[in-house]
Amino acid sequence: MYKLKVEAYFSAAHNLRGYKGKCEELHGHNWKVEMVVASGNLDKIGMVADFKELKGLLNSALDKLDHKYLNNLSVFKKVNPTSENIAKYIYGQLRHKLPNLKLVTVWESENSSASYDEE
Distance, CA of 29 to CA of 82 (rounded, Å): 11
Q: Is 67 a catalytic residue?
A: yes
Q: Is 110 a catalytic residue?
A: no
Active-site annotation holder among 7, 24, 53, 67: 67
Q: Is 23 a catalytic residue?
A: yes
Distance, CA of 70 to CA of 87 (rounded, Å): 13
Active-site annotation holder among 25, 108, 118, 119: 108
Distance, CA of 20 to CA of 32 (rounded, Å): 25
- Catalytic center residues: 23, 67, 108
